[in-house]
Amino acid sequence: MIKKILIANRGEIACRVIKTAKIMGIATVAVYSEVDANALHVTQADEAVCIGPAPSKDSYLRGDLILQKAKELNVDAIHPGYGFLSENAQFAEACAEQGIIFIGPTIEAIKAMGSKSAAKQIMHQAGVPLVPGYHGDDQNPALIKQSANDMGYPVLLKATAGGGGKGMRQVWSEPEFDDALAAAKREAMSSFSDDKMLVEKYLTEPRHVEIQVFCDNHKNGVYLFERDCSIQRRHQKVIEEAPAPNMSEELRASMGEAALKAAFAINYSGAGTVEFLLDTDGSFYFMEMNTRLQVEHPVTEMITGEDLVEWQIRVANNETLPKTQSQLAIQGHSFEARIYAEDPNNDFLPATGILQLLKTPITNAKVRIDTGVEQGDEVSIYYDPMIAKLVVWDETREKALSRLETCLQHYAIGGVTTNIDYLRRIAGSMPFKQAQLTTDFIERHNDSISTATIVEVDSYLPAIALGYLLSGQADCKHSANNTPWDIHDSFRSNLIHQPSIEFIVNDKVHTISTTMSSPNQWTLNNNGKQHVVSGSITNDTLSFSLNGVKAKLPIMFNNAEISLFTPQGMLTAQIQAADLGEIGEDDHANSVVAPMNGTVVALLVKTGDKIKKGQQLIIVEAMKMEHSIKAPYDGTVAECFFKQGDLVSGGVALIDITADDENS
């Protein structure tokens, strides 16, 4: 009987497992890297132990050290979460050797599905439909390329190990193939220490529909219906939903039975996900099987009412499945939106920084937030930049989508760039409302969802001015001297003083004159319009009255900037001062710069090289993703400031370029 579980993971999935374990009366042990010493999963667990420095390879991927700590702490079982060691057959095998239960499938099942090419062969033998492609062991680049040429472009290159979109490249024509293959192999080696590749036909209008399966050790198996995960960028999911829209009962049953056929073919046990590409004609093709719990498992839990982590633990305890197929039913509709620290306006580059403000929607039976961070935590370069998963449920897709939009309006994060506004634009777009779902949805509808939401400046600038005035008054109240000379309340003998505040919003200067009419109340004049404002600030929330209309909005102060989180999105105003600290003439005005903190994995040019616009110059890796930096114009490399393996900071000059005369 499992009485104590070590969670070999971090962040929101570690917190998720701890939550269920506590409900079941099972003790928990968290592991953490040095940088995660104060992380949320560490504080929530009954015990916690450090396993090494920040880099994953020195901590969360140290299976030997994790097992050593598990033995020392008398752990019965290890839950690997997802990512890291979750699909590592060697780790599962080591657990068995140490007499510790691995809460996951059998070692044989992990090995069978660990290689995408081997998995395809097994599925072919089991009669599960496959996409045409090459999945062989011969990794001669010329053979792989010839296979792509034979099946016709576009094709999809995929690393046979791992997942999460790593080591994947779409190739649209033969001239692109060599560079794409080299990049995919590099990324695969970096992420999985294995650069073996497969290539398959790329369907142009498919949906990504996956089936949640569950099997026990007594030859029982069920499918808990499907999830549509078509909304992706860089082959990583952004918004998932369950059940899949426009799915007939016949097709649902057919895909569910095919998924179970795949699971039974490898004597599966535990939670697994069989991923399919669903074509427009209703045909579907096996992509891969993930032998673990999926990131998006909450939407399945919301529509079935089942706790999948509890199911995992019970199966690991050698119990039979809690329910049979006939006892399972779909109830309502659910969406999951992944809140990431990333910049959708800059090719979704990961962002780092301190979560200076974190306000979430109110959770209840219909709104769930899975997270592993709190306000004040840091999003670092070392791990995946996902901040949280916002999960909603309602009786119909239309109602659930409306709830998702409302919750995204009430999600406020300051200090790091996030994709919240981008998620709102997707959820509010007509193609998404109409369920026009394809894996290239983001590219297909980029024009309608890429434009940042415009916040009505005149509507909210008075509130920002109030926030500024209140914050200044708060500083005075806490003055150490507390003398009349420390109180900045606009007092003038026999005069009414009307000081002005200048804000810069979207590169435009706005001047607001202010008159204090009573404590915490001012009359503001903005562009000839007069506003009466009053209010207070408590727990990063501005409670205000604007011309008699009361509201509450999150507010954040960051040096000379004030950000107000409105229902339309974040509005940031910079306080105009005599010296805003503008940076002078850039010493490296002709440089290409690092888009974020990361590591140089490839330097493709040297000093003196002639380069062409669009040519790859240097590749920086951050958060397990490669970012290729290209020449902005024709020229000559004047100087390279870093070499392969160096750490770089976001914004630092990487390479100086002397432009050709015609580009000067």
Residue 604: in which H helix or E strand, if any? none
List the alpha helices (DSSP H) in 193-290.
Answer: 249-265
| CA gap 452, 469 in Å, rounded | 29
Helix 297-304 with 308-316: angle, nearest 10 deg:
100
Structure tokens belonging to residue 614: 């669009």
Whose tokens are 């498992």? That residue is 297
Contact status, residue 416 vs residue 353, Cβ threshold 8 Å: yes
Is 469:489 a contact under the CB 8 Å cutoff?
A: no
- Catalytic, out of 292, 338, 368, 425: 292
Of residues 23, 20, 19, 25, the one with CA closest to residue 4: 25
Q: How far is the C-alpha of 68 from the C-alpha of 51, rounded, in Å?
A: 10
157, β-bridge pairs: 169, 199
CA torsion sign for 622, 623, 624, 630 is negative
Residue 292 a catalytic site member: yes
Instruction: Please say whether the beta carbons of 26 and 4 come within 8 A.
Output: yes
Task: In whole angstroms, give the CA distance from residue 470 to residue 477.
Answer: 11
Backbone angles phi, psi at 262, to 5 degrees: -65, -45
Separation between Cα atoms, residue 125 and residue 103, nearest integer Å:
28
> At CB < 8 A and 24+ separation, what contacts does 527-531 make?
527/458, 529/458, 531/462
Query: Per-residue b/e over 387-426, b at no fewer than 16 CB within 10 Å?
Result: bbbbbbbbeebeebbbbbbebbbbbbbbbbbbbbbbbbbb
Give how far the C-alpha of residue 374 lies from the chain's centroid of Cα atoms, to the nearest Å: 16
Residue listed under structure tokens 């509808």: 445
Sequence-ordered list of residues with C-beta below 8 angstroms from that of 599, at least 6 positions apart, any chain: 620, 621, 622, 645, 646, 647, 648
DSSP secondary structure of 30-70: EEE-GGGTT-HHHHHSSEEEE-SSSSGGGTTT-HHHHHHHH
> How many C-alpha atoms does 63 have within 13 Å on its Cβ side?
21
Closest CA to 269 of 112, 97, 163, 99: 112
How would you label 588-618 residue by residue, b for 16+ Cβ within 10 Å and e otherwise? bebbbebbbbbbbbbbbbeeeeebeeeeebb
Give the number of other Cβ atoms within 10 Å of residue 550's Cβ.
10
Instruction: Measure the CA angle with vertex 123, ends 117 and 125; round to 5°.
Output: 110
Token pair 């909450």: residue:
298
Q: Catalytic site residues?
A: 292
